[in-house]
Amino acid sequence: QAAFETQAKISPLILEKKKLFNDLLTAK
């Protein structure tokens, strides 16, 4: 249960970082 909750919290952060990273790449 705890692992699932941690995953649920972390996944959006990873997606957000990937989105920001892609934005930086496309901005160049």
State pTM to two decimals: 0.58
Interval 1-28: pLDDT, tens: 789 899 999 999 999 999 999 999 999 7
Q: Where along the chain do its domains lie?
A: 1-27
The pLDDT, as a whole number, for residue 1 is 77
Q: How far apart are CA 8 and CA 4, in angstroms?
A: 6
Buried b or exposed e, range 1-22, using 16+ CB within 10 angstroms: eeeeeeeeeeeeeeeeeeeeee
- What integer pLDDT is reported at residue 28 of this predicted model? 79
pLDDT in the model for residue 26: 95
